[in-house]
Amino acid sequence: MAENENAPATKKDLAALKTRLDLRMGSLSDEMHALEERLSEQMRDMQTELLKAFLPWQQDVKIQFRELEVNTGNSVTAIRE
């Protein structure tokens, strides 16, 4: 072990350490922002895929409800007559 490792830190040493830490924190912040952007894009893509997947089902259900409405309307009319 070198004696220098046990020497007290100077203000210059602390300033250099602060500079290095500030640079690293800035880098981490940039990385986190990029990660957030990628995650947001993936979530939008997933939402789009889900909506695309459910569109045919929704259209089928809408057709079924319309048929039910038409058939029920005819039955009610027939009963009234």
pLDDT digits (tens, 9 = 90+) for 34-52: 999 999 999 999 999 999 9
- First CA to last CA distance, the chain: 105
Q: How far is CA 45 from CA 7, 10, 40, in A?
A: 55, 52, 9
Provide the pLDDT for residue 28.
94
H or E segment and range at residue 38: helix 11-80
pLDDT at 68: 78
What is d(CA 41, CA 56) in angstroms, rounded to the nearest whole number?
A: 24
pTM of the model as a whole = 0.53
State which residues of the chain have pLDDT below 70: 1-3, 73-81
pLDDT at 53: 92
